[in-house]
């Protein structure tokens, strides 16, 4: 059996979901051949550059415009039809990549790819290939929905009514399995061992700050306030691949007087370790970051959510009492107050555990194999 997974670079979540799925497939059944392809890049450099850079430009420089576009295209109107028709028109360029790999099942981790695959199915270009659309946020959006899709995988069950009632999706092809995450997020190591290896104190209250997406100025001020508000607080700050931010934070850590209780990191490949030993994560609300935090049962303080899918993700977390939304000016005080409320923090952790879908990747693999004609004895995904 062959599975082809299409990801995209419009945000890191689509790629991480695809990678988690690939990892689960290889771990569960080495006889299944899996390939991950950046679908937008496969179509062409111009299209990929336009889609990816256009997305980043809007969310960083004109977030309100992006938010309005997100709302407009979630309705069946002229704007939505233009977007879907344009994306579907690129489908022929995707067909060559599909024919190269000759899959039995295709999994789409991006809505633009879903529109293209839908058109290919409509015109009989894919034969008996089964196709699965994965929605990588905690709210459904109309651009994820298209005819001729065999299954929709949702982050959580409460999304299903919107697909059924507003988008007209058949309930029988909806699977609220969760967003796939790597197994390591739901299998923690010993806290003492991780802290000893990383030079951290397992007895201190620890806050993990995922700073890479915040921009330089805002996160510097936020870190300094957080470091000064509680002299016993242990801080882990991960900047990702933002070199400018890392350099600025190095200076700030030294000047703050909190260097002995701050671990500043650039890009890391073991973020799950830092999640497992932390009491709270301060982050932006991307779908994959949320899913990984939930898998670690880690309460969230959401900082600077963009209008659009991030705001809807926040709304879901707030409703479920798994996160707080903090203001850039008063956020440090809000976090300090939360950390001084062990009962509330424990409730948030329990809610994160309740919402976690630790077997999402494995369940998606089983679903793909079932659709591809290779059912597993463990039973069908619920």
Burial string for 62-100 (b: 16+ CB within 10 Å, else e) reads: ebeebbebbeebbeeeeeeeebbeebbebbeebbebbee
Q: What are phi and psi of 31, to 5 degrees?
A: -80, -15
Pairing of strands 130-134, 151-153: parallel
In the chain, which stretches have pLDDT less than 50? 380-382
Residue 213 CA, chain-centre distance (Å), reads 13
H helices present in 260-341, as ranges = 271-276, 287-295, 309-319, 331-339
Q: Give all domains of the chain, ordered by start, each with its CATH number.
A: 2-181+358-371 (3.40.50.2000), 184-355 (3.40.50.2000)
Note the maximum CA span of the chain.
65
**pLDDT for residue 48:** 80
H helices present in 62-130, as ranges = 63-72, 78-89, 91-101, 111-122
Q: What are phi and psi of 62, to 5 degrees?
A: -145, 60
Q: What six digits make up the tokens of 319?
A: 């409703």
Q: Treating both helix axes as pointing N-terminal to C-terminal, what angle do 12-28 and 360-371 enclose, rounded to 10 degrees?
A: 70
Strand partners, 130: 105
pLDDT tens digits for 230-262?
888 999 999 988 888 888 899 988 888 899 999
Q: What are phi and psi of 148, to 5 degrees?
A: 70, 20
Q: What six digits make up the tokens of 99?
A: 């024919």
**pLDDT for residue 107:** 98
Q: Which residues contact 125 (CB under 8 A, 6 or more apart)?
A: 91, 95
Whether the Cβ atoms of residue 304 and residue 311 lie closer than 8 Å to each other: no
CA-closest candidate to residue 89, choices 53, 119, 48, 126: 119
pLDDT tens digits for 44-93?
888 788 777 887 788 778 889 888 888 988 888 887 788 778 777 778 88
**pLDDT for residue 212:** 65
């Amino acid at each position: 059996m062959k599975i082809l997974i299409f990801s995209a670079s419009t945000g890191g979540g689509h790629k991480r979901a695809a990678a988690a799925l690939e990892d689960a497939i290889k771990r569960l059944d080495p006889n299944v051949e899996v390939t991950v392809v950046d679908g937008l890049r496969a179509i062409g450099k111009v299209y990929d550059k336009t889609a990816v850079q256009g997305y980043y430009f809007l969310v960083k420089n004109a977030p309100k415009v992006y938010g309005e576009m997100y709302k407009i295209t979630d309705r069946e109107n002229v704007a939505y039809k233009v977007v879907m028709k344009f994306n579907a028109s690129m489908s022929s360029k995707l067909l060559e990549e599909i024919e190269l790999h000759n899959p039995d099942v295709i999994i789409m981790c991006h809505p633009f790819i879903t529109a293209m695959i839908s058109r290919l199915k409509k015109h009989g270009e894919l034969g008996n290939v089964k196709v699965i659309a994965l929605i990588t946020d905690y709210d459904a959006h109309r651009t994820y929905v298209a005819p001729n899709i065999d299954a929709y995988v949702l982050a959580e069950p409460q999304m299903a009514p919107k697909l059924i009632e507003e988008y007209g999706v058949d309930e029988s092809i909806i699977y609220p399995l969760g967003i796939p995450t790597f197994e390591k997020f739901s299998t923690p190591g010993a806290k003492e061992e991780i802290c000893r290896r990383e030079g951290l104190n397992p007895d201190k209250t620890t806050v993990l700050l995922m700073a890479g997406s915040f921009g330089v100025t805002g996160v510097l001020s936020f870190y300094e306030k957080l470091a000064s508000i509680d002299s016993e607080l242990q801080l882990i700050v991960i900047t990702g691949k933002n070199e400018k931010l890392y350099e600025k934070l190095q200076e700030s850590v030294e000047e703050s007087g909190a260097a002995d209780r701050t671990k500043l990191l650039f890009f890391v490949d073991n973020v799950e370790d830092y999640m497992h030993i932390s009491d709270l994560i301060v982050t932006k609300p991307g779908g994959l970051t949320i899913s990984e935090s939930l898998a670690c049962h880690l309460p969230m303080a959401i900082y600077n959510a963009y209008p659009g899918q991030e705001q809807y993700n926040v709304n879901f977390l707030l409703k479920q009492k798994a996160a707080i939304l903090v203001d850039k000016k008063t956020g440090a005080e809000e976090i300090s107050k939360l950390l001084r409320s062990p009962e509330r923090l424990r409730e948030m952790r329990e809610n994160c555990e309740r919402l976690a879908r630790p077997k999402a990747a494995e369940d998606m693999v089983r679903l793909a194999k079932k659709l591809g004609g290779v059912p597993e004895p463990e039973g069908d995904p619920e």
